[in-house]
Amino acid sequence: MSRHHRRKQRFKLSSFYVWHRYMGVSAAVFMLIVAVTGLLLNHTEDFQFDSEQIQSDWILDWYGIKAPDTMRTFLAGDRHVTLMGEHLYLNRREIEGNYRQLVGAILFKDTFIVAMSHSILLLTRRGELIEQLQDKDGVPADIKQIGIDTDGAVMVRTSHGYYQPDTDFISWKRRDENFTGVRWATPSLLETRLKTALQHHYRGEVLPVERVILDLHSGRFFGRLGPWLFDAAAVLLVLLSLSGGWIWLKRRR
Amino acid sequence: MLRKLLFLLIPALLCTTLLAEAVYQEPDDFLRETFSGKVPEPAVIWLSGERKQFAKQLLGHRYPSLRVRYWRQNRRSAWVLEEIGKDLPITIGLVINDGLLEQIKVLVFRESRGWEIRHPFFTDQFKDARLDEDNTLDRDIDGISGATLSVRAVKKMATLALFLDAELRKQDVAPSP
């Protein structure tokens, strides 16, 4: 092999090496993200990333997560029972589960009776769920209002008549009389401080940490271009492996 | 190629969705069947004090409500309980006769995996099961591969129902004040 040819080969190898380094540096940031998030995703359950929710305002804003501005609230005794989205709150305490169509709430003998259109919740003063009563438990369908009658008993008005539970809320009876003087629960206004607190709580309950890690892993966290950037990084990694292998082979010769 | 793939994927996705909630028997029908059409009035047992603690220890979390409904005729009681397998609740019907588990039946299954627990080859293992002195099932229950969490949920519900039934029987023999 001539001297000229050897010099040309060395030049080729060193320029390839430079390219190899640049590709390595460019892919490093992405690879770090992919590796770290991959490790975390492998231990989602250990770290409870599937049940922990993101609280950071800027991440929630980045995802465009907003709390509903409209909410329905009833004043029962001295507490507000509020439905925001599908989240139900007794003052600031969230009641476990998802709920829809809150129609009223009253305080009855130290128990909060919360009426949805198709179920009734019994809550302690501390907000613990005593029982959720549904149609299978004899609760009438399509509840429109809940209130307390003139004898101090609970009464619900449905689209097909009036119903009353027994004292333990185990069975329900239809009442055919015309009722007057029932104190029906009516929606009330939520004070601004409580409203803000609930909106803050709501936002902090909808985005699991796992989702953000997954989005970081796939690049979706960085917007529409994110997955393309991560694809490019993957291609760089492939090239990096090939060029690394090639340089190694050339040096051995 | 893409079209072929879609033909394969769409039915698979539809099947997964359909399997998402399977009602094998309505709870009302389960009760009617258990009591030969004459379902007794329901009653409730409160999960307070030691019962609450036991349920929490057994389930690994608080039982979602403070009282549990049951139906009882003489020394035979029926329970419809729910426990989450992986993500969604499984509704289970249980019949206990004089402290022995007479029947256990999966009524509604909402998870995407683990539905095999509804088959008799699994539920028959609980036949005549009872609680030991340390409030655990008196036998080992063979699991099902791929249904570990559902199997665990059924075992927990069997233990809870037997425990609550024992609590009811304790009340029966309690001396009047």
pLDDT at residue A76, rounded to an integer: 94
- Residue-wise pLDDT for B77-129, tens only, equals 999 999 998 888 899 999 999 999 999 999 999 888 888 899 999 999 999 99
Name the nearest CA neighbour of A130 among B59, B46, B129. Answer: B46
- Return d(Cα B87, Cα A49) in angstroms, integer: 14
CB-based contact, B146 to chain A, within 8 Å? no
pLDDT at residue A82, rounded to an integer: 95
* More confident: A179 or B163: B163
pLDDT at residue A1, rounded to an integer: 54
Minimal Cβ distance to A168: which of B27, B44, B64:
B44
CB-based contact, A94 to chain B, within 8 Å? no
- Return d(Cα A172, Cα A188) in angstroms, integer: 28
Sort B1 into a burial class: Cβ within 10 Å, 0-12 / 13-18 / 19+: exposed
Q: Where are the alpha helices (DSSP H) in A48-174?
A: 57-62
- Residue-wise pLDDT for B117-172, tens only, equals 999 999 999 999 999 989 999 999 998 988 899 999 999 999 999 999 999 988 87
Longest dimension (CA), chain B: 79
Q: What is the DSSP code (8-state) at residue B124?
A: G
CB-based contact, A129 to chain B, within 8 Å? yes
Tell me the backbone φ, ψ of residue A13, rounded to 5 degrees.
Answer: -65, -40
Name the nearest CA neighbour of A168 among B28, B34, B41, B30. Answer: B41
* More confident: B170 or B68: B68
CB-based contact, A124 to chain B, within 8 Å? yes
pLDDT at residue B15, rounded to an integer: 46
* More confident: A237 or A4: A237
Name the nearest CA neighbour of A171 among A130, A138, A135. Answer: A138
pLDDT at residue B2 is higher than 50: no
Per the structure block, which two tokens stand in for A37? 């998030």
pLDDT at residue B1 is higher than 80: no
CB-based contact, A125 to chain B, within 8 Å? no
pLDDT at residue A105, rounded to an integer: 96
Name the nearest CA neighbour of A209 among A33, A46, A32, A48. Answer: A48
Cβ-defined contact of A130 to B64 (cutoff 8 Å): no
As a whole-number percent, the residues of chain A with pLDDT over 90 amount to 42
pLDDT at residue B174, rounded to an integer: 56
- Return d(Cα A229, Cα A221) in angstroms, integer: 11
- List the single residue in B with minimal CA-CA distance to A136: B28
Considering only CB atoms, which chain B residues are within 8 Å of A128? 66
Least confident of A86-100, A141-155, A239-253, B66-80: A239-253
For chain B, give percent helix, strand, coil, nearest 5: 40, 25, 35
Q: Count CB-CB contacts under 10 A for residue A78.
A: 8
Q: Report the pLDDT averaged over residues B30-41.
A: 94
Least confident of A52-56, A141-145, B16-20, B138-142: B16-20
- Return d(Cα A129, Cα A98) in angstroms, integer: 13
- Residue-wise pLDDT for A50-78, tens only, equals 888 898 888 998 888 888 877 899 999 99
Task: Give the 3-state secondary structure of residue B134.
Answer: coil
Q: Are the C-beta atoms of A224 and A230 separated by less than 8 Å? A: no
> Rg for chain A (alpha carbons), in Å?
31
pLDDT at residue B86, rounded to an integer: 83
Minimal Cβ distance to B42: which of A97, A129, A170:
A170
CB-based contact, B56 to chain A, within 8 Å? no
Name the nearest CA neighbour of B103 among B73, B125, B127, B82. Answer: B127
CB-based contact, B48 to chain A, within 8 Å? no
The Cα angle at residue B56 between residues B50 and B59, in degrees rounded to 5: 135
Per the structure block, which two tokens stand in for A19? 């390219």
pLDDT at residue B14, rounded to an integer: 45
Cβ-defined contact of B64 to A129 (cutoff 8 Å): yes
Considering only CB atoms, which chain A residues are within 8 Å of B43? 170
pTM recorded for the entire structure: 0.72
Tell me the backbone φ, ψ of residue A107, rounded to 5 degrees.
Answer: -105, 120
Minimal Cβ distance to B66: which of A97, A129, A137:
A129
pLDDT at residue B18 is higher than 60: no
The span from the first CA to the last CA of chain B, in angstroms, equals 79
Name the nearest CA neighbour of B66 among B58, B75, B56. Answer: B56
pLDDT tier for residue A97 given thresholds of 50, 70 and 90: confident
The Cα angle at residue A88 between residues A83 and A93, in degrees rounded to 5: 125
Q: Are the C-beta atoms of B113 and B148 separated by less than 8 Å? A: no
pLDDT tier for residue A185 given thresholds of 50, 70 and 90: very high
CATH classification of A72-203, choosing from 1.10.300.10, 2.130.10.10, 3.40.50.300, 3.30.9.10?
A: 2.130.10.10
- Return d(Cα B146, Cα B149) in angstroms, integer: 8
Q: What is the DSSP code (8-state) at residue B117?
A: G
Minimal C-alpha gap between B60 and chain A (Å) = 15
- Give the residue extent of every domain in chain A: 3-52+208-252, 72-203
- Residue-wise pLDDT for A189-198, tens only, equals 888 899 888 9
